Structure 1
């Protein structure tokens, strides 16, 4: 080869190299100066704000749930286990602490092995800093130039990250933004999802598993592909040993152990406290909107990584949900058996037709001018359909109408437990299954409350000076000026027209006839005013039947009224959000108005009512809480059942907890087939009983379950010192006209009763002296 040829070849190669360098520099500058899209500046990078999931915490800082678009939570570098960081470096960027964002050694390896030799096992050349740029800013499509453009962008951004942040900050930022499978972003969310633990508590095996998934998040998903994920974990452990992060013995011991996944998915329709989480979501959005109006700062529940602190106790919540599920599955079976083939969702054609016509699909087809026959034919077409059942979701051939009738039959429920001393909600069950029945029966529903209103009637009577040992006949009366309305009682006592009950006996046995008579003597206005003093804001009907609970209240409103009996006569308004923090830990909202109302009644009245409601538990309509469930807790309470067995209620009181349960069908036209299963003692009480039974077995709750009501004062004991019942004597029966009809005129007697109250007080005072 001549010297001239060699020189020509060398010049050609030099020109080619210079051209390549010039083209590379021009390309680099085109990326750097934004020809392919503007690059984030150093100011942008120094003010990174990534979308983070907001977390919902219970009273003990346990995670209840999250609100997110992308499931991401941030952790600090100090919270990262050493094994986690070492696993990351060993597999992703072993020279991380030696480069400035670009690992030129890895780039050369990629160029020669991957590009020239087509060896795909040589790995990639992206550093952690470059991957961080990808995680935060994503990748755009530039056609044929996509890969060169995005790699160059990420190199430039990696250098900027390295200039602005410490190595530890970059590692933390990377692990907070890296995507895992199942739409999970960040190491904390992945730790919670796949191992139900916080990042700081991950062990070596778990660290290696999660880092191992980064190579192919779906393929190495530890839930879906546990064997494949375990093999990948072992590769990570080998890499850690290779680079001196693990000794051989530890690597072997960890590799020999099976991978254990403790999966926990935060689906808003699933998991504990689903109804509560939805209620908090709605309320928090309102709070954030209010904060935005008050100042220029705006907050996004789904992106800003807020911490929402609540009053709920996750253990109590789980006990409540367990109690509800156990009882409601059994009660549903009782209901269906009692109706048989005559169930309204099967045989009541008129009811079914009304429900069909209320369907959105029916209305839409009707607007499209479909005939009724055509609509019914369409709605009767069977297809594969998932349906709710207490045995688990079932797949069957069913039509829309079949599905409607199937869902019509299910009873629903609500349960809430509140600390009466401050109103803190400790457990909240809005229905039987949030995925299938979204309606919240704790806060959104208003139903007739039945006999749970009677304690308010008797409270008003005692407050007006009536003696708790006043006797009333249980006999029925027809009120001619109330459309010949005749309140009736269940049970055989109706036949004995000469039997009289004291307040305590009448309340504990939930005698309707006496409750109305007491209301008549006290006055409707006085009773309704007493209800207001006990925190009830809803309008109540100004009719005699209000004594039997024909007024409609939400569970929270009813529970609020009952808190006064356990809170020294003061009403506590239920609340559940204590504070909200931003991602930096600054408090942006705090519950400052934990409303405790003025005294609703006197201390003597309160003690008398507690003793009377204790009798309901011990010997009255709620006695099965003792006999059937064997609970020895110090309890007071009241059952409730509405007309035609449409609603069953129970409110239970302990010194430190008020519990209420409701059971019924969402369609008011469907009730229980008979009082035996529909009465509150059978339909609602068991949820509270099963809830308490679980709490009794948990020493954590001894302060609640072992708490005792105070011993009544001597005055209260004296006020209740009488026989619970008595019969009219022969002379009284002989000379007293037995009136079976009369007019209801409580207001005309109001002043008379006030005078009687005064005289009773003076008489009592004289007796004491």
Structure 2
């Protein structure tokens, strides 16, 4: 009976064994197929050996200005490098003792460490057993990053890194791998490579790092943010001590050497690198060059790469002009920022919830908390909690105990500025400052923004007036008029003394002093549709509302549109596009050359264009921009136009010389925030100094752009400009005017108001500026 039962159990054991064996084989087959699919590139291509060999053969590409002066370079990793021989031995010892103690024994993947992770960390739950990643695996991750593949992200990326690690070990020596790793690994503070990290946290090259400093930096590799020695000094010191202990355990240090460091408090010498206007130019250059290179690769079946192919990119930029405008813009904005904050005193708009909350909602941290199901009130409460945080104060980053909302409000107080200068005759961009400080905002105002342009649009209103038959010495009444068809809109002048209803002003005077009432009347004379048509002919493509408010500049335009349109005033032709990248060379051979700039003729006759240019010259000589002459003492041939928008949100100055069109703007990225007063916010104060100071600085460098004259105007044009700026009505005309106005008033009072056309309420009963 017992034998029978024993015989019955044997088949069951065999079946179970076979089932387990088959399961193992199926799992092994699936796993092998999965690994094979990764190797064959079904989850994305693996780097080839040739790709990996190019890591040390990569050549930087260089951007040069129109005179072959280097503007910027682009490297494989865009970070500072250092040779391994230059590093102190304790840097290498700390790295190996902490990150990969069997580095010199394995071939890229440490099977012993992987088994330890499997049995101790995963099965036994012992977190202290460490990870299984080697320095070579980490190098593979640093170079190529990781793809988001959903549930398969971790296994696919890990296996890819393993294949890459084996290839790296096959191509490079251990010394080369260490050098590549230390030059590419991300450290705290958004630095890459130990040279950059050393300069950031200790203000010295990595070759001068002492043992404590080396251990501190190596310690941050475990978790860049958590062990940031600036943000979390106590935590970073504990991690440094772990590194020193590891070096002691593996005989890289004596007990005395270890004790000496363990008894020291952590000390750093932080140095935050500055980054201002040039960052915007560099970003624009990189983007345009990459677009061109991608097209070349597609057309020619090449594999050019901006970071590795050693290209020379010739640009239209003039380094002298770029440096002048960038430097003076930053200097001026620092001064005006202090005045801007002082004006508001305790009524700071950037601290109002209606201002900062919409900005907060656009941040990643807010969006992530929203995805997790938190309410607005809960998120605000969470982000109001204080923690150790870096806050930029306009000069440097300071470590403070503050909340995310505090940090946001501090950032929102900063004004911004931008400047674009072109050659009107070629369409070349000569300088490009897309913002004041890349640390405060990475938003490129020139490339992405369309701002209301204020009175800088008035020259096109007056150009239309000249075309319709008006002349620089035509006189129009300066009195305020109420436009009942447009919600009783009543445009007024900045100066009440110009509202005398019996005083008439020449167009020349009205433009130079930016009189709103005259500008609207010029628009009436020339016609709204005709004026918009003319603006289109000047190359303006943005929407222009069919409303009389365009006479005051209620139009949103880009910098490049303004620059091209004003080029049509300075020159007889308008560039259809602006040039930034002219040629690209590889090994001295031209592989790309920009097409010749296309132009179209200015819509104005030569006489009208020169009349308008002369009127804009009077803006500088006697009008709203006269400080160029009186304050800055510049006597050269300069014309221009100031501009200030509603509620002082934007200050503009457009400077014109025979060879330059320069668009300069000061304002705030958040259009809810403007200057408190016109005294500070007007373009003549907020934006004009950028041009004036940069021009003076440029004059010291070169006369190519500063020693030219506008075309000589003929006697006929001189005669048309030679008139009294103001003319008062005589007694009889004033009497007749009074009776006519009373009659019109009585008639209007008896009529019922027509249905009013919709119009922007911001103009209703408000005083428009400039």
Aligned pair in 2 of structure 1 residues 359, 142: CA closer, same or farther (>3 Å)? closer
* Cα separation, 1, equivalents of 2:51 and 2:525: 75
Indicate whether 1:309 and 2:310 are aligned.
Answer: no
* Cα separation, 2, equivalents of 1:732 and 1:571: 48
Indicate whether 1:680 and 2:695 are aligned.
Answer: no
In structure 1, the partner of 2:229 is: none
Secondary structure at 1:51 match in 2: coil
Indicate whether 1:669 and 2:672 are aligned.
Answer: yes
Indicate whether 1:277 and 2:278 are aligned.
Answer: no
Indicate whether 1:350 and 2:377 are aligned.
Answer: no
Aligned pair in 2 of structure 1 residues 495, 504: CA closer, same or farther (>3 Å)? closer
* Cα separation, 1, equivalents of 2:358 and 2:184: 42
In structure 2, the partner of 1:211 is: none
Unaligned runs of 5+ in 1: 1-39, 74-90, 93-119, 121-138, 147-152, 159-174, 185-192, 195-216, 229-264, 745-769
* Cα separation, 2, equivalents of 1:510 and 1:47: 61
In structure 1, the partner of 2:723 is: 722
Aligned pair in 2 of structure 1 residues 591, 329: CA closer, same or farther (>3 Å)? same
* Cα separation, 1, equivalents of 2:272 and 2:314: 17
In structure 2, the partner of 1:551 is: 555
Secondary structure at 1:604 match in 2: helix
* Cα separation, 1, equivalents of 2:670 and 2:51: 56
1:339 Cα deviation (Å)? 0.7
* Cα separation, 2, equivalents of 1:283 and 1:45: 27
* Cα separation, 2, equivalents of 1:44 and 1:559: 44
**Residues 344-374 of structure 1: per-residue CA shift (max 9 Å, x gap):** 123x333333433443322332332224443
* Cα separation, 1, equivalents of 2:686 and 2:525: 32
**Residues 279-326 of structure 1: per-residue CA shift (max 9 Å, x gap):** 121222222222233332242222222221111122221211211111
* Cα separation, 2, equivalents of 1:376 and 1:227: 42
In structure 2, the partner of 1:290 is: 295
In structure 1, the partner of 2:234 is: none
Secondary structure at 1:345 match in 2: helix
Secondary structure at 1:539 match in 2: coil
In structure 2, the partner of 1:55 is: 62
**Residues 359-411 of structure 1: per-residue CA shift (max 9 Å, x gap):** 33223323322244432221111122222222322222211110111111111
Question: Which of 141, 144, 148 is the equivalent residue of 2:108?
Answer: 141
Aligned pair in 2 of structure 1 residues 336, 266: CA closer, same or farther (>3 Å)? closer
| Preserved CA contact (<8 Å) 2:480 2:499 | no
In structure 2, the partner of 1:466 is: 470
In structure 2, the partner of 1:733 is: 734
1:174-193 matches, cutoff 5 A: none
In structure 2, the partner of 1:542 is: 546
* Cα separation, 1, equivalents of 2:612 and 2:301: 51
Indicate whether 1:451 and 2:418 are aligned.
Answer: no
In structure 2, the partner of 1:241 is: none
Question: Which of 411, 418, 423 is the equivalent residue of 2:422?
Answer: 418
In structure 1, the partner of 2:441 is: 437
Indicate whether 1:593 and 2:560 are aligned.
Answer: no
In structure 1, the partner of 2:335 is: 330
Secondary structure at 1:342 match in 2: coil
In structure 1, the partner of 2:649 is: 646
* Cα separation, 2, equivalents of 1:48 and 1:641: 52
1:570 Cα deviation (Å)? 3.6
| Preserved CA contact (<8 Å) 1:454 1:515 | yes
Question: Which of 365, 370, 380 is the equivalent residue of 2:374?
Answer: 370
* Cα separation, 2, equivalents of 1:720 and 1:568: 20
Aligned pair in 2 of structure 1 residues 592, 642: CA closer, same or farther (>3 Å)? same
| Preserved CA contact (<8 Å) 1:446 1:552 | yes
Question: Which of 618, 632, 646 is the equivalent residue of 1:629?
Answer: 632
Indicate whether 1:500 and 2:504 are aligned.
Answer: yes
* Cα separation, 2, equivalents of 1:658 and 1:390: 30
Aligned structure 1 segments of 4 or more residues deviating by more than 3 angstroms: 43-50, 70-73, 139-144, 178-184, 221-228, 269-272, 352-360, 569-573, 738-744
Secondary structure at 1:703 match in 2: coil
* Cα separation, 1, equivalents of 2:383 and 2:626: 48
Q: CA RMSD in A?
A: 4.3
**Residues 696-717 of structure 1: per-residue CA shift (max 9 Å, x gap):** 222xx21211222122111211
| Preserved CA contact (<8 Å) 2:369 2:379 | yes
Unaligned runs of 5+ in 2: 1-47, 90-105, 112-133, 135-166, 186-193, 211-270, 755-770
* Cα separation, 2, equivalents of 1:183 and 1:50: 15
Aligned pair in 2 of structure 1 residues 519, 495: CA closer, same or farther (>3 Å)? closer
Secondary structure at 2:704 match in 1: helix
| Preserved CA contact (<8 Å) 1:415 1:662 | yes
* Cα separation, 2, equivalents of 1:327 and 1:604: 37
Secondary structure at 1:416 match in 2: strand
| Preserved CA contact (<8 Å) 1:52 1:71 | no
Secondary structure at 2:345 match in 1: helix
In structure 2, the partner of 1:658 is: 661
* Cα separation, 2, equivalents of 1:681 and 1:140: 68
* Cα separation, 1, equivalents of 2:295 and 2:52: 30
| Preserved CA contact (<8 Å) 1:71 1:183 | no
1:182 Cα deviation (Å)? 5.1
* Cα separation, 1, equivalents of 2:718 and 2:687: 31
* Cα separation, 1, equivalents of 2:679 and 2:623: 15
* Cα separation, 2, equivalents of 1:302 and 1:476: 61
* Cα separation, 2, equivalents of 1:634 and 1:72: 45
Aligned pair in 2 of structure 1 residues 394, 628: CA closer, same or farther (>3 Å)? farther
Paired residues in the alignment total: 561
TM-score (norm. length: structure 2): 0.66
Aligned pair in 2 of structure 1 residues 494, 720: CA closer, same or farther (>3 Å)? closer
| Preserved CA contact (<8 Å) 2:313 2:583 | yes
* Cα separation, 1, equivalents of 2:333 and 2:439: 16
Aligned pair in 2 of structure 1 residues 524, 140: CA closer, same or farther (>3 Å)? farther
1:180 Cα deviation (Å)? 11
1:642 Cα deviation (Å)? 0.5
Secondary structure at 1:704 match in 2: coil
* Cα separation, 1, equivalents of 2:734 and 2:337: 48
In structure 1, the partner of 2:714 is: 713
* Cα separation, 1, equivalents of 2:278 and 2:53: 38
* Cα separation, 2, equivalents of 1:635 and 1:321: 20
TM-score (norm. length: structure 1): 0.66
